[in-house]
Structure 1
Amino acid sequence: MGHLTVQDILKATGGKLLQQEHADFSGLSIDSRTIGEGELFVALRGDRFDGHAFLDQALAKGAGALVDTPPAEAMAGRTIIQTGNTLTALQDIARFLRARRSIPVIAVTGTNGKTTTKELIASIFGLRHKVLKTTGNLNNHIGVPLCMTRMAGDEDVMVLELGSNAPGDIRLLCEIARPDHAVTTNVGPAHLEGFGELSAVRDTDLEVLAYAKTFAVNADDAFLVEGTRGYTGSMLTYGIDKKADLSGRDITLHERGSGFRLCCPDGQETAVELKLSGRFNITNALAAASVAFACGISIDDIKKGLEMFTGVPLRLELKERAGMLLIVDAYNANPASMEEALRELSRLKRSRTIAVLGDMLELGPRAEELHQDLVKRLNALNIGLLIAVGPLMQKASAGFEGDCYTVEDSLQAGAILSDLCREGDTILLKGSRGMKMELVLSEVEASIAAGSGYAV
């Protein structure tokens, strides 16, 4: 973050200065374990934590704290600012900084592909501009404003991934970020506990339309496109199957990577070779290219930015281990992303296929039905072996037609897979974030390193 003064914070939050030692701060932090020297600690309250309980640890290194309750004792040598609500204050600081800078802000919403699309956009713009982007998938009401407070003051563009769990979430983030340009990747059944219906998922992602002057949308998602009726800004469609302003043609899928011909609305075309595997990643690339084209980026820079991007950890990573191909897509899961991952498992099959699948969480009343549908898809693709992880997958696995093992957690799954896997296997690891499916990979790698449990 750049120079942020006490007066800036007071102006942004309407807070009260309880004591002052430092006039400015080198950054903001919400974690007492990682706070840096000179940073201001924002003491957030949550369902399972209260940052106020860690003030002493935070102020051992930090220069001050933003609190909603005055400390019981004076904090010598530190600056303390009190506000009515520290989360609102964090958001207000981000809003204040955004208003102070007139740089373009690009927002990415949608069910799947947001993080990869955001990173691809940042890769394109980063060729000639300084980019501030959300870190990882810190895309919620805490992560987005926290990212925005890291503005150094010399950025040329901001690329923000905006996530949602319930109606109104995208609107809240847009009120803070005020995006000029936006793209919505797709809409699918995710976080249904908060949304209830698929139409609510779509309408929430499209709350961004009330703010963005230019908007890119996936033409291959008819349900999503239907929701854009009435948008009065400049809209650009992209896609592979349906007619679109910007399209991908001559698709080629390699074991590692993929290629396509990028066709732009002005008639320009170029061949693109991605380091990303999977047809859905071509769609993500088209989403990024659409935003870049709308912002006046040349087709040569679009091509270069797409081709230099190497991927996001835990998202369809291909790993060779002891003659096996492991598809590690363990960051998160919902029915649509499961479908794409299973297509890749089937496409990349060498000998036997193994699906190690954890529960898809937050699907609400339809959770059991959607897990049963997933198992039907496994049968249709002739997947050879299933390791079902978690109660929902365990129950649904009763309908699996191949060999099946059921376990409680990812560590147990890793132990079983270590005993069963053999050279030539193609293995998919996928589940919701809470299932920690990357631990399956750790177990297999430890087994291989130890020379035990690996079937040959």
Structure 2
Amino acid sequence: MSTSMLSTAELYSKFQECTGVSTDTRKITANCLFVALKGDNFNGNQFAQQALASGARYALVDDPAVASQELRCLLVADSLLALQDLARHHRQTLTIPVIGLTGTNGKTTTKELIAAVLSKNYRTYATVGNLNNHIGVPLTVLSIRNDGPTAPYEMAVVEMGANHQKEIELLCSIAQPTHGLITNVGKAHLEGFGGVEGVRKGKGELYDYLAQHGRTVFINSRDKVLMAMYRERLKSLRSETVFAEAIFYPAVDSTEQTIELIQESPVVIYRDEAGYEVITYLPGQYNFENMLSALTIGRYFGVSRDDANRAIAEYNPTNNRSQVIHKGTNTILLDAYNANPSSMAAAIRQFAAMPARRKVVILGDMYELGQESEAEHAALGKLVAESQFDLVILAGKDMKYALGWLPKAYYIPDKFSLHNWLMDHPMTDTHILVKGSRGMGLESVLPFL
């Protein structure tokens, strides 16, 4: 029952005996490594014994008193930092391409599309769900094992999220991407980043890493902000290492023939360079841009055009992101996983352009906007008013700021009342956009539509 602290190398040796890593006692698998993390309202050290009793092989703890009680407790100074160092150590053992991606909007959908395309040729590991932060990225890296039913992996796609500066820098130091992509830079997490310029600087830390380490970058050449950020890196790093190569799209082959968007609603239909039409399950110009990212990366790594198109056509989201759902005579565009001013504006413009007999929007609060929240919700109200929908329903405490532009909108602060209102006002032959931040959980309205 030693209480001496383990080095990263010693910890890695123990990790290699384990089948995986868990930070949640409700998700313990046989012979996994349980990592005891601390938060504002919990202390994982208190659950170490429970994790071991549930089947964990070891428990990583940073409380000497807990470590002294059980031989299978591995003591470190800080469990979170040890987890991150363990992931860095493991990353050094991997020799496969690791594609890192971040951005304000579309990260998860783009990650899923890239993984779908690459999986046509390679055993590909991609971030599971939304494990894209300072805890999720280490867990993702540690999941890229050389053993197991689908191993050894030949490709990895790692999503990186951030709500403040220096976070992407930290995540890059863990994932150490060989290739990278920023989907876009917009208005999100303004409170943590300190405004739009802070968002640009924070997301740009991925470009910084790729440039400083001579790695490959994929850039949407139609995005003026991303192109400016790329040129800034070239200028500032002239005398040092810079990107190994920059791959620009939407041109996706050497003939410079671009893939053409035919239709963006209710779902994207595009025509490829050979003239074949591809029908997808995703709506919106913004998702077409995400598809171009995946097609470009697939082409770069040698996935055939037919296989890449098939992967895009087969991808059908089931995670409250960009879902097109048909219920009776209604068509519902459910995008209830996240919302910020940029993604809201894109979704509303796309919905406004969609041909439909009757259009209704159900919009929930946009979170993490800090002092900008009132102004951004008001600006959203103006955009919605200009779009002239048949019915506007607003939910959440900050959506009241949109009412100045929408005197005829229904404002319902809480979800229980929203559900009741929808039950009392059934809709038919209607296209309905449902969008709000994750904390609003607006997917709960589906049974009432």
CA distance in 2, matches of 1:433, 1:425: 24
In the TM superposition, what is the alpha-carbon distance from 1:46 to its structure 2 partner? 1.4
In the TM superposition, what is the alpha-carbon distance from 1:112 to its structure 2 partner? 0.6
Select 2:362's aligned residue among 346, 352, 356.
356
Q: Which amino acid in structure 1 is aligned with residue 298 of structure 2?
A: A
Select 1:226's aligned residue among 228, 242, 247.
228
Q: Which amino acid in structure 2 is aligned with residue 440 of structure 1?
A: V
Select 2:75's aligned residue among 35, 58, 82.
82
CA distance in 2, matches of 1:208, 1:201: 12
Cα 1:94/1:106, change in 2 over 3 Å: same
Contact 1:202–1:224 (Cα < 8 Å) also in 2: no
The range that moved more, 213-222 or 105-114, is: 213-222
Q: Which amino acid in structure 2 is aligned with residue 248 of structure 1?
A: I
2:133 corresponds to 1:140 = yes
2:315 corresponds to 1:309 = yes
Q: Which amino acid in structure 2 is aligned with residue 200 of structure 1?
A: G
Alignment correspondent of 1:46: 39
In the TM superposition, what is the alpha-carbon distance from 1:407 to its structure 2 partner? 2.2
CA distance in 1, matches of 2:318, 2:326: 17
Instruction: Give the percent of matched residue pairs that are identical in Structure 1 and Structure 2.
Output: 36
CA distance in 2, matches of 1:203, 1:23: 37
Q: Deviations over 1:87-117 (max 9, x none)?
A: 1111111111110111110011111111111
Cα 1:188/1:382, change in 2 over 3 Å: same
CA distance in 2, matches of 1:346, 1:414: 24
Q: Which amino acid in structure 2 is aligned with residue 171 of structure 1?
A: E
Contact 1:15–1:83 (Cα < 8 Å) also in 2: no
2:93 corresponds to 1:100 = yes
Cα 1:175/1:118, change in 2 over 3 Å: same
Paired residue secondary structure (2:158) = strand
Cα 1:12/1:292, change in 2 over 3 Å: farther
Q: Which amino acid in structure 1 is aligned with residue 301 of structure 2?
A: C
CA distance in 2, matches of 1:133, 1:98: 15
In the TM superposition, what is the alpha-carbon distance from 1:383 to its structure 2 partner? 1.4
Select 1:280's aligned residue among 280, 283, 286.
286
Contact 2:67–2:73 (Cα < 8 Å) also in 1: no
CA distance in 1, matches of 2:190, 2:300: 32
Cα 1:72/1:303, change in 2 over 3 Å: closer
Q: Which amino acid in structure 2 is aligned with residue 12 of structure 1?
A: T
Alignment correspondent of 2:203: 205
In the TM superposition, what is the alpha-carbon distance from 1:75 to its structure 2 partner? 4.9
Alignment correspondent of 1:69: 63
CA distance in 1, matches of 2:87, 2:256: 34
In the TM superposition, what is the alpha-carbon distance from 1:13 to its structure 2 partner? 6.1
Contact 1:331–1:433 (Cα < 8 Å) also in 2: yes
CA distance in 2, matches of 1:180, 1:194: 28
Alignment correspondent of 2:260: 249
The range that moved more, 315-324 or 176-185, is: 315-324
In the TM superposition, what is the alpha-carbon distance from 1:426 to its structure 2 partner? 1.9
Contact 1:375–1:399 (Cα < 8 Å) also in 2: yes
Contact 1:358–1:432 (Cα < 8 Å) also in 2: yes
Q: 1:156-235 to 2 correspondence within 5 Å?
A: 156-212=154-210, 213-229=215-231, 230-231=233-234, 232-233=242-243, 234-235=245-246
CA distance in 2, matches of 1:390, 1:146: 33
Cα 1:15/1:155, change in 2 over 3 Å: closer
Cα 1:247/1:203, change in 2 over 3 Å: farther
2:310 corresponds to 1:293 = no
2:254 corresponds to 1:260 = no
Alignment correspondent of 2:384: 378
Structure 1, unaligned runs of 5 or more:
1-8, 446-456
Alignment correspondent of 2:414: 409
Contact 2:282–2:324 (Cα < 8 Å) also in 1: no
Q: TM-score, normalised by structure 2?
A: 0.87
The range that moved more, 307-316 or 113-122, is: 307-316
Paired residue secondary structure (1:24) = coil
Q: 1:340-355 to 2 correspondence within 5 Å?
A: 340-348=346-354, 350-355=356-361
Q: TM-score, normalised by structure 1?
A: 0.86
CA distance in 2, matches of 1:281, 1:131: 22
